[in-house]
Amino acid sequence: MNALVVARFTLQEAISRRLVLAGLLLSGLFLALYALGFWFIYGIAVQNTLDPRSRAAPLVAATILTILGLYAVNFLASFLALFLSVGGVSGEVDSGTLLAVMARPLRRSEFVVGRWLGYALILVVYVVAMVGGVLLLAWGLADYGPADPVRAIALMMLSALLLLTLSLFGSTWLPTIANGVVCFSLFGLAWLAGVIEWVGGNVGSQAMVNTGVLVSLLVPSDGLWRGASYYLQSPIMTELLPAGRDYLPFASIAPPTAPFVAWSAAYVLVALVGAVRVFGRRDL
């Protein structure tokens, strides 16, 4: 119950600092600009259907535009996860607020879990709302529907929660600025490894592919997005593409493996347990 109380105060803090209001305004602006760009580009693709060699242009355009929009949403969700939790514990320690909070009958583990629950709820709502908005726009403007949006949303939520937990874990033993540098660097490293793996797969370099896979196990956020991108594509697209070749550097035509998804879920659990244990031994 104490953890739920901390979660409620975490949500109230986000609202009082106008984080929720700013998120709503910026998200609305993003969806408006996305809809405008989608309408213009898809209209050009439809005009190209007059050429018999370009009959598939509308489907290809709708697929790429949808994946691009959700790729941006994934980036926004990742940044939100890191910004929320980068000072989730260390910021309270530095300000001295935590001393007053811990004077109450509250365990340190309950504080960490409560913070995680509050941030996680914000992220889940954000991901569902933004992904739903982009998919509704794609459906309304191009009658485009992904293969399995539920699995895609689940994987994108897992990616955001993984970064959230990793950042919260760092916040229990690193200063806020140092934790921010480390977490954003790891996020960028995971993204770069995904690009390296894509290049390696297309040029036939197994060493590059292995490097990308190894880094994706260290920080699975980009790998989870690529798994989600598979379920966001129309099944017809895979029939139009050469076998084994990803046509976009930030998407995949292969589904994620069950062991990788299980590893990512375990990653979140282990990082959360680690945050609880480290903070329990920290000198305030």
Q: What is the pLDDT of residues 56-73, one digit of tens each?
A: 678 888 888 999 999 999
Residue 92 has pLDDT above 80, yes or no: no
What number is the average pLDDT over the span 263-271?
96
pLDDT of residue 52: 47
CA-CA distance, 216 to 3, in Å (whole number)?
32
Lowest mean pLDDT among 202-206, 235-239, 243-247: 243-247
pTM: 0.90
Beta carbons within 8 Å of 122's beta carbon, 6+ residues apart: 11, 14, 20, 80, 84
What proportion of the chain, given as a percentage, has pLDDT over 90?
50
What number is the average pLDDT over the span 95-115?
76
CB 180 within 8 A of CB 82: yes
pLDDT of residue 203: 84
Residue type, 141: L
Encode pLDDT of 108-135 as tens digits.
888 899 999 999 999 999 999 999 999 9
Residue 194 has pLDDT above 80, yes or no: yes
What number is the average pLDDT over the span 163-173?
94
Q: Where are the domains of the chain?
A: 27-280
Secondary structure (H, E, C), 31-74 = HHHHHHHHHHHHHHHHHHHHCHHHCCHHHHHHHHHHHHHHHHHH
SS3 254: coil
Integer angstrom CA distances of residue 18 from 6, 192, 219, 226? 19, 33, 30, 32
